[in-house]
Amino acid sequence: MEKHWSLDQTGVCTCNKTYIHAAKAKHLMTDLISKRTKPLLMIFLATLVLFTLSDSEKSQSQVEQLLLPLIGCWEGEALKTPRGALPYPVCFKRLDDGTLYGLAKLNVSDHHWYFYLNDKKSRLRFMSTFADNLQPVNLPATKLQARHIEFSTAPFSNGHAPQLHIAIDKVHKGYLFTMTLHGVEHVIIRLAEKIPMKGTATKTREAQN
């Protein structure tokens, strides 16, 4: 653009007022667009964060949704064991470090269940005190679905079954635990009825009256 020099009414030399006005208009338009698009940009960034969550973060919440309802005490039943059907009373609670811990005190042994839900990869540490055993078994999670999770000492490979495999299914009003040793079904545990917390029955009667 050709420059035009002139004196304004105050005697000050001005240069290319047309260009100056155009620059101001351009700056004003840029500022206006920025103000309008900033909220949209924030929404876009927030959406991007949600969609870029790692698979471990997504599966972690799914694991919690599946297993945290175990919290409480159950009048369970071991439908199948080497000794036949047996009662299986068990209580679960959340520890301070986030671990879901369950204890079943049985006639012949105690069963300790430690579900580590805060790790990048969930795992189960299981221990039976049968025959004075104090050595737990660590089982990483190998399969996860909305109502099903599996823990195994080693994935199935070359046709060999893992030493210990535990599948947990969320069923109607409860859970079904299936324990397999070397590919052979060993124990099936059914948790169908939770034991009411102390005072629940009293509060229910008071509410009905």
Residue 154 has a pLDDT of 80
Residue 1 has pLDDT above 70, yes or no: no
Beta strands in the chain (DSSP E): 5-7, 13-15, 72-80, 86-94, 100-105, 110-116, 123-128, 137-145, 148-152, 164-171, 174-181, 184-191
The residue type of 183 is G
56-98 pLDDT tens trace:
555 558 999 999 999 999 999 999 999 899 999 999 999 999 9
User: Percentage of the chain with pLDDT > 90?
Assistant: 52
Residue 177 has a pLDDT of 98
Residue 26 has a pLDDT of 55
Residue 196 has pLDDT above 70, yes or no: yes
> Would you give the end-to-end CA distance of the chain in angstroms?
91
Query: Given pLDDT bands bounded at 50, 70 and 90, which one contains residue 18?
Result: very low
Residue 79 has a pLDDT of 97
Residue at token pair 């737990």: 136
> Token pair for residue 208?
């009905």
Residue 50 has pLDDT above 70, yes or no: no
Q: Give the CB-side neighbour count of residue 57, counting CA atoms within 13 A.
A: 6
Query: Given pLDDT bands bounded at 50, 70 and 90, which one contains residue 162?
Result: confident
Residue 143 has pLDDT above 90, yes or no: yes
Query: Given pLDDT bands bounded at 50, 70 and 90, which one contains residue 36?
Result: low
